Chain A
Amino acid sequence: MKSGKYFWLLAITAVAFQVSNAEVGFHGYMLNHSAIRIHSPYDAMLLRNRFRLNSELMGDNVYAYASVDFLNDVVIGDSTALNLREVYLDIYSSWVDFRIGKQQIVWGKADGYFINDIVNPLDLSLFLLQDFEDIRMATTMLNTKIHHGNNSLEILVIPEFKPMKMNFTGDWGFNRPDIFSVQDPGSGLILTIPISYGIDKLPKSSIQNFEYGFKCNLFLFGTDIALIYLKAREDKPVMRKAVEMTTIPNIGPIPTKINITPTHPWFTFFGANFSRPFGVFVLRGEGGYYPKRYFDFVPSDLSQLNTGMLTEKPFLQGMLGMDYQLTSQIDLSVQGIQERILDYEDAIMTDEVNTISSLMLRGSFANDTVLPLWLMLYNISNKSYLSRVSIDWKYSDSFTITVGADILGGDQETTAGQFNFGQFDQNDNLYLKVVFGF
């Protein structure tokens, strides 16, 4: 991995020297991000120092970019790390552009939710406490964009697979069960079986495992339309289960352990999105359809344990949103999101329908120097919510202070890794960000 990073740095340096009239630019920021729990035990949830350096090399038809983070976490792991966030090379021509390297792709129109925006895996190790540019993890790929006017076709070839980053312990650990209860059909007894989680099996980087996709961007009748196809592997692990049986004399075989192996099977995705202004409103929407996706399945009794406890079902997602300028200084955005498992069976652990609504009020006062925000994400299906209130104060062009609070609550019951705000009910926090940009 390290050699890969050095390769890119060398490649960019080489290009810089080759490009005539190349300009070099450096910018970035220093950040201190602190968060404290606002109820007992009032402990520090995050003390993070970051130095981000973005460097650019600009030639006539070539552009290179590298973004490096020096990250020091005092609370989480007490660690210091160097992270090459993004590094890519752009080559432009009059009708086709190439971007090769570690990059982020944003395909969706939704705010705070990922329906079409599924190319890059997510870093949910701090759930939604990080900025979105840090939640989305860059991956190495070749991005080819053929363009004509306001229409274009993007083609992605993604040789690197990277899984979603999520914790199962700590403040932002997702719930996952350690035991499984099932009824023995013979005796009628409820058996409690321990669960053992194996190591995530990542696919090898070979041509057969290259992910790929395309997005067709059209501007038709004043409407921005995108059509998406993606063939990729699940970033969020699909948990394959194998049951260990032990034969007890006079009773027979009984399950004594469930071994779970995280896997990343292929999926096919068809998506579309649009945005269009109507007077003072902007209407946005996006949808996604998976013909086949894996869902955890709860066997009704012992005889069904060997089914792998997974079932394949089609899956549908949709979002409709609207942006409206409430006053000259306040913008309002509302969204309604629904996910639905088609051909549903009651034994599936995930709910058939998941409905989420969001509301965002964003202000801009004192000529963009005071920027208040209120974001509310409410999961109607499991009655959980995230409410974020923050205010940015831009003291100068380079110095910004942000004070905010995240309040999470609602139903805490969830299946492993499910996007439920209630499971982080104890994580209400007050945060402070101090940023010096250069």
Chain B
Amino acid sequence: MNRLISMLMIALVVGLFSVMSLAQLTGRDIMEKVSERGDIKTEFGKSKMTLINDKGKTREREVIRYQKSYNGKDGIDTKALIFFEYPADIRGTGLLLWSYQATGKDDDRWLYLPALKKIRRIAGESKNEYFMGTDFTYDDMGDRNLDEDTHKLLGREKVDGVDCYKVESVPINKDDQYAKKITWIIPDKWVFQKVEFYDKNGNLQKVLTASDIREVDGIWTPHILFMDNLSKTHQTKIEIEEVKYNGEMSDQVFTQTTLERGKVQ
């Protein structure tokens, strides 16, 4: 009996400390937990993108994505490689992204266009250019360094019945494409439920919502992402068909040789 009381006391103290520590979380702490969610070293994803215009007409894209975290090795934060598999006219188009840890250092980006059989270097600062007709910009496709924004916890708020942290992120660089982002984060899963993107005039430009959040390899993962571009009355829905975390992924995947090849062997 004494043993049971002791265990309950310990559990209570641990729980209390946990609640206290969560209560003291700053906006940056929360975003850091999202960023480091599940300690993702590598990520492979296969998804279907549906592009929906203002008349409800749809176009589809099938995309494969590889990502690897380098945690500052040679100054690199993450490397990502994206291939389009469908439709035929953009099949083989690839984007290679190297994101750096140092704040202010632009990403290195290479785009391969099969019709030209040529790799083109893209400016690391061309952040407000939409990627291949989607409502995601090149910057949205890459991994954003935490220190590129100041993060402020605005409180807690329910989104679709889910209690979330509400964090405002304001870019340090005033030339950034967005004036601010507001993110709603599910506390126990450390995954976002909703993101609002505001333009330079302070107007709500885009809303990204996540749903069908399931645990894959111990990591909570949204399987449906829906970007509503209010400024263009256009939407992009991403359905994750396959995702794998922390599998073996060679450094050779994230090179121009693989980008040109159009596939990962």
Chain A interface (Cβ within 8 Å of chain B)? Answer: 27-29, 58, 60-61, 63, 90, 92, 94, 97, 104, 106, 131-133, 145, 147, 149-150, 152, 217, 219, 222, 224, 275-282, 284, 323-325, 328-329, 364, 366-369, 394, 396-398, 400, 437-438
Chain B residues with CB under 8 A of A94: 250, 252
Q: Is A149 touching B255 in the complex (CB atoms < 8 A)? A: yes
* One of B1-9, B85-93, B186-194 at the interface: B85-93
Chain A residues with CB under 8 A of B59: 369, 396-397
Chain B residues with CB under 8 A of A104: 117
The answer for the CA separation of A329 and B51 in the assembled complex, in Å, is 17
The answer for the CA separation of A58 and B263 in the assembled complex, in Å, is 10
The answer for the CA separation of A329 and B128 in the assembled complex, in Å, is 9
Q: Beyond A280-B126, A368-B133, is A27–B257 a contact (Cβ under 8 Å)? A: no
Q: Is A106 touching B121 in the complex (CB atoms < 8 A)? A: no
Q: Beyond A94-B250, A104-B117, A106-B117, is A325–B126 a contact (Cβ under 8 Å)? A: yes
Chain B residues with CB under 8 A of A366: 53
Chain B interface (Cβ within 8 Å of chain A)? Answer: 51, 53, 59-60, 87-89, 91, 106, 108-110, 115-126, 128-130, 132-135, 232, 234, 250-252, 255-257, 261, 263, 265
Which among A106, A131, A369, A394 is the interface contact of B118 at CB below 8 angstroms? A106
> Can you report 21 A-B residue pairs in the complex whose CB atoms are below 8 A from each other?
A29-B89, A58-B263, A61-B265, A92-B265, A97-B261, A106-B116, A106-B118, A147-B255, A152-B257, A276-B121, A277-B106, A278-B123, A279-B125, A281-B123, A282-B121, A282-B122, A325-B123, A364-B133, A366-B53, A367-B133, A367-B134
Q: Is A222 touching B87 in the complex (CB atoms < 8 A)? A: no
Q: Beyond A323-B123, A367-B234, is A131–B130 a contact (Cβ under 8 Å)? A: no
The answer for the CA separation of A367 and B58 in the assembled complex, in Å, is 11
Q: Is B257 touching A367 in the complex (CB atoms < 8 A)? A: no
Q: Beyond A149-B255, A150-B255, A437-B88, is A132–B116 a contact (Cβ under 8 Å)? A: yes
The answer for the CA separation of A364 and B137 in the assembled complex, in Å, is 13
Q: Beyond A61-B265, A106-B116, A367-B134, is A277–B124 a contact (Cβ under 8 Å)? A: yes
Q: Is B121 touching A328 in the complex (CB atoms < 8 A)? A: no
Chain B residues with CB under 8 A of A61: 265
The answer for the CA separation of A320 and B124 in the assembled complex, in Å, is 20
| Min distance, Cβ A128 to any Cβ of chain B, angstroms | 15
The answer for the CA separation of A278 and B121 in the assembled complex, in Å, is 11
| Min distance, Cβ B232 to any Cβ of chain A, angstroms | 7
- Given A104-B117, A217-B256, 15 extra CB contacts under 8 A: A58-B263, A97-B257, A106-B117, A106-B118, A132-B116, A147-B257, A149-B251, A149-B252, A152-B257, A277-B121, A278-B123, A279-B124, A282-B123, A328-B130, A329-B129
Chain B residues with CB under 8 A of A92: 261, 265
Q: Is B88 touching A398 in the complex (CB atoms < 8 A)? A: yes
Identity of the chain B residue whose Cβ is nearest the Cβ of A149 in the assembled complex? B255
| Min distance, Cβ A89 to any Cβ of chain B, angstroms | 13
The answer for the CA separation of A29 and B109 in the assembled complex, in Å, is 30
Q: Beyond A94-B252, A325-B126, A400-B89, is A60–B234 a contact (Cβ under 8 Å)? A: no
The answer for the CA separation of A284 and B123 in the assembled complex, in Å, is 12
